[in-house]
Structure 1
């Protein structure tokens, strides 16, 4: 009997630099990954929504029924996932640090006695394994995760600016998958005004600004990731200098004071 294909929101999580670690460390990282994911699902009310998780060794395939709002996934769930990883980073050794690449797509998937399959699932894995996405997480050395959405999800969900989503925090990413298949996606890094490390496209890209939070590890930063001292008052004041006409804040970093230096036609 042929399995019925149903529509799902398809999310894939993958741990950065998992394979080079020793076996005991891999087990600790996997345990941390599952605890953070389960806590995030619970905090966003998704635990009892028919969400399916399939283990992939160094990551997880998550299938969410189409009745669940994708805004909850791209907004609340990603925020909870990021916050959980950030809190664990304070208590975790560098060897067992867990940083994630996360991708969201949509499409048909079907299940047999061995697991889930479908072209949409393949696309989600191509997104999470894309070299440009790996480069972004490497460049965003203060980040705990990087999040990519397919062009379909960006067109239907992200660009409309449903709260708490911030379309201005996403930039396009293009790459070639297997057999030369061109794929376009959109990338954001919680805590950054724009994802660093993306190869240049035709349109100009804003300068990314790294977050400043107590759990950020000490170490050298690139000039683009260093924000100037705040011109505001109070411990919570933040100042970000960025070239552009209009810049919106992102969900995790909170409110910002933005100074604009000159015209920047590539930014809307």
Structure 2
């Protein structure tokens, strides 16, 4: 019997390079994935017992009740997922580490005897599978996850800058589906001031912007340096700045407050 269509916050996650791992390692990674997810919901103050989780092999479809604040999902839950992934990597090392893409959308979903479906569910999967999002995670070599929200979630939630959300850390993402539909979203990478790897206006990948003399820079003409996450060893906080020292950097048009003291800013142009 088919149930009634109900509104949910729809979270989908997918593990990077899962199919390239051996069968025993896949089993281990899946166990670690569920441990990270359930712990993250608890740390974010969301009762995991109220979240529908539908297994997808290398990922999970999660339907969160509409009574849960989306600010909690885009803020505390995202940070808890990132913390959990980093903790697993510290324990098991890179060979066992998890890296994932996570998408957040909203809309109606309906349950039948075989699972959940609906256009909103389809859109969430298209977002998490989008090639631009895959490119971002690949370029963010020091990150553990890349997070994309739909246009609706960005406009209704993220852009308002609720406590714990930083709209300036998101960049727009768009792609065409196999059916020719254009889907828009916004992507961020925890630890990075801006997500690397998105195409620039001319279609080429954005060059990360690294402070002159900072670790990871390359001499002129040798290509772009790897992007460093905000807060990495390459970054300099205001508290740790040397007296009289000025750090220069170059970015495009910035939405939001970037500078509060001496800082290194990494990532592509922000527009």
TM-superposed CA distance for 1:138, in Å, is 0.3
Work out the CA distance in 1 between the residues paired with 2:48 and 2:234. 45
Q: 1:217: which partner in 2?
A: none
- The two structures have a TM-score, normalised by structure 1, of 0.82
- 1:90-109 equivalences in 2 (<5 Å): 90-109=90-109
Q: Which runs of no fewer than 5 residues in structure 1 stay unpaired? A: 211-220
- Counterpart of 2:174 in 1: which secondary structure? strand
In structure 2, the CA distance between the partners of 1:169 and 1:162, relative to structure 1 (3 Å rule), is same
Q: 1:257: which partner in 2?
A: 262
* 1:4-61 CA distance string (max 9 Å, x none): 0000000000000001110010011101110000000111121267211111100000
In structure 2, the CA distance between the partners of 1:51 and 1:231, relative to structure 1 (3 Å rule), is closer
In structure 2, the CA distance between the partners of 1:15 and 1:259, relative to structure 1 (3 Å rule), is closer
Work out the CA distance in 1 between the residues paired with 2:113 and 2:150. 28
- 1:1-268 equivalences in 2 (<5 Å): 1-47=1-47, 50-201=50-201, 207=208, 223=225, 225-226=227-228, 230=236, 232=238, 234=240, 241-244=249-252, 246=254, 248=256, 257-258=262-263, 267=271
- Counterpart of 2:179 in 1: which secondary structure? helix
Query: Does the CA-based 8 Å contact 1:12-1:104 persist in structure 2?
Result: yes
TM-superposed CA distance for 1:259, in Å, is 6.5
Query: Does the CA-based 8 Å contact 1:51-1:65 persist in structure 2?
Result: yes
TM-superposed CA distance for 1:247, in Å, is 6.5
Query: Does the CA-based 8 Å contact 2:234-2:264 persist in structure 1?
Result: no
Query: Does the CA-based 8 Å contact 2:170-2:186 persist in structure 1?
Result: yes
In structure 2, the CA distance between the partners of 1:95 and 1:158, relative to structure 1 (3 Å rule), is same
- Counterpart of 1:108 in 2: which secondary structure? strand
- The two structures have a TM-score, normalised by structure 2, of 0.81
- Counterpart of 1:200 in 2: which secondary structure? coil
Number of residue equivalences: 246
- Counterpart of 2:87 in 1: which secondary structure? helix
Moved more, 93-102 or 126-135: 93-102
Work out the CA distance in 1 between the residues paired with 2:53 and 2:31. 14
Query: Does the CA-based 8 Å contact 2:55-2:61 persist in structure 1?
Result: yes
Q: 1:215: which partner in 2?
A: none
Work out the CA distance in 2 between the residues paired with 1:131 and 1:54. 23
TM-superposed CA distance for 1:209, in Å, is 6.3
Query: Does the CA-based 8 Å contact 1:247-1:258 persist in structure 2?
Result: no
In structure 2, the CA distance between the partners of 1:256 and 1:49, relative to structure 1 (3 Å rule), is farther
Work out the CA distance in 2 between the residues paired with 1:85 and 1:116. 27
